Amino acid sequence: MPITHIFFDLHGTLVHTARLAPCFAESIGHMMAGNYGGQPQDWAKAYRHIQADWTSYFADLHLGGDEGLANLREGLYRTTRALFRLMHVKEPSQPQLMELAIQLAENAPSHCKDVFYEDVQACLQALHAEPYQLGICSYALAQQARSLLMRADLMTYFTGPIIGPDIAERFEKSTQFYEAAVRLAGTSSQHCLAVDDSLSDLSSAHQVGMMTAHLDRPGMHPSANADVYKADLILGDNLHSLINAMHSHAL
């Protein structure tokens, strides 16, 4: 059946995570200094310290299953609270801190422009012109994904759903996650293609009936995990081959 919808992963597929991390910290610095005083560079330094120890804040939180979204929010609450402690600034109330944690996660990327891989814009532009409906399936909150796309002037190419844990109501990219994407797209899974650098995530997409395309970005998920699942389309390490691969498969 013809493909009408293409869902892209964000981090590691469209967004270069090594570029995003320092930009994110700088953005957090400016946002926190504007609201709570102090110097942006000091807040940014504190956030970089948290980034370096990020997994410890989530160590006891299970991000899979039905409780994954709630635990994601708890982890963001912890990292935001740590900012105040590192800066020796009195923290807001628990509800205010929780709200701030989500605001930071959603809005900090609006300052990050040059964090996308160089092959992204040309690929999205060509696919949009075909025309395919492009969407996002990401571990990032939906508004965070939108903030990144808008800052890079890429949002215009995305006419399909932007799906994050807050929309799918779960963190992990399980079959339920992709079923939510298909449902919100108003189509059937046979008309959808998932593009991702994670073979385990693509396996979930495959299980709901979507076609899959694996992008093997350098330094991301190692190819040694190829025994997890073999995607329908193998793209190598860049997106230039996606359109040719789709044409050769009459998609």
Chain segment 1-17, per-residue pLDDT in tens = 699 999 999 999 999 99
Residue 204 has pLDDT above 90, yes or no: yes
Separation of alpha carbons 28 and 107, rounded Å: 9
pLDDT at 141: 96
Residues of the chain above pLDDT 70, percent: 96
Give the chain's mean pLDDT.
93
Using an 8 Å Cβ cutoff, are 178 and 203 in contact? Answer: no
Q: 144: Cβ–Cβ under 8 A, 6 or more apart, which residues?
A: 105, 106, 108, 109, 164
Separation of alpha carbons 143 and 164, rounded Å: 8
pLDDT at 221: 58
Residue 220 has pLDDT above 70, yes or no: no
| CATH of the structural domain 5-16+116-248, one choice from 3.40.50.620, 2.130.10.10, 3.90.1640.10, 3.40.50.1000 | 3.40.50.1000
* 65-87 tens-digit pLDDT: 899 999 999 999 999 999 999 99
Using an 8 Å Cβ cutoff, are 239 and 215 in contact? Answer: yes
pLDDT at 76: 97
Domain-wise residue ranges, the chain:
5-16+116-248, 18-111
| Mean pLDDT across 153-157 | 97
| Mean pLDDT across 172-179 | 96
pTM: 0.93
Q: What is the DSSP letter of 250?
A: T
